[in-house]
Amino acid sequence: MVQIEQDILGKNDAIAQENRLKFAMNKQLVVNLVSSPGSGKTTLLTETCRRLAADKVVVIEGDQETANDADRIRETGVRAIQVNTGKGCHLDAAMIASACERLELDGGDLIFIENVGNLVCPAGFDLGERHKIAILSVTEGEDKPLKYPDMFAASSLMLVNKVDLLPHLKFDVQLCIDNARKVNPDIEVICVSATTGEGVPEWIDWLQSQRK
């Protein structure tokens, strides 16, 4: 088991490194959104695409089945490609390489990857992205960074989503942030609501600062 795991991860890391070099050469910013299912990745992405419509934005959508999320992105006018992983629980670097080829990008792009929803497997797979971004919604509980530390340790930024629901819930935002910083003292945090737009300008500013 250990040998197989090492072989798979070794092969993935080599392709991820090729992706990373290509992204750098083509001046592309690539961010990989990771979270459990339903935390609001696609909703936040559609809102983000609407606000960045004038930019060169594309989205690579990962789900086990269906093209629903790519369809939701395309409704905003942004190009999207759907990757179905079947039995797989995460995207890998080869899937991203092939999706980028199909997108025929010409450089300077902002590439969003929406990974398959789960807080475990996507943490272990480097796609060649600049940043992993963990989305945690306030309905999931403050303890998730402690229960699934790898995901939060691998992420540069945590977006705490659905803050519009806070008045209806017992969710301690500061405790959640403290828990995330226990596993990753450097993680940045932005509180957002993908549906009301609260915090979304700060998220867009964060993206723009990464593009410079």
Ligand X SMILES: Nc1nc2c(ncn2[C@@H]2O[C@H](COP(=O)(O)OP(=O)(O)O)[C@@H](O)[C@H]2O)c(=O)[nH]1
Footprint of ligand X on residues 82-121 (CB under 6 A)?
117
Tokens 């497997």 sit on residue: 121
Which lies closer to ligand X via its Cβ, residue 68 or residue 98? Answer: 68
CA distances from 158 to 56, 103, 115, 125, 212 (A): 24, 28, 15, 18, 21
Secondary structure of residue 23 in the 3-state scheme: helix
Q: At its nearest, how many Å lie between Mg ion and the CB of residue 42?
A: 3
CA torsion through residues 171, 174, 179, 185, sign: positive
Q: At its nearest, how many Å lie between ligand X and the CB of residue 21?
A: 29
- 47: contact with Mg ion by CB under 5 A: no
56 membership: H or E segment, kind and range: none
Interface pattern 15-54 for ligand X (x via CB under 6 A): --------------------x-xxxxxxx-----------
Which lies closer to Mg ion via its Cβ, residue 116 or residue 160? Answer: 116
**Size of residue set near ligand X by CB under 6 A:** 16
Which lies closer to Mg ion via its Cβ, residue 69 or residue 142? Answer: 69
What residue number has its CB nearest to ligand X? Answer: 40
Footprint of ligand X on residues 126-165 (CB under 6 A)?
161-162, 164-165
Q: Is-contact 60 99, C-beta < 8 A? A: yes
Could you say which of Mg ion, ligand X, none residue 82 binds, taking C-beta under 5 to 8 angstroms by partner kind?
Answer: none
Q: Alpha-carbon distance 61 to 155, whole Å?
A: 19
Which lies closer to ligand X via its Cβ, residue 15 or residue 176? Answer: 176
Close Cβ partners of 201 (under 8 Å, ≥ 6 residues apart)? none
Q: Is-contact 11 4, C-beta < 8 A? A: no
105 membership: H or E segment, kind and range: none
Name the residues that contact ligand X, by CB under 6 A.
35, 37-43, 117, 161-162, 164-165, 193-195
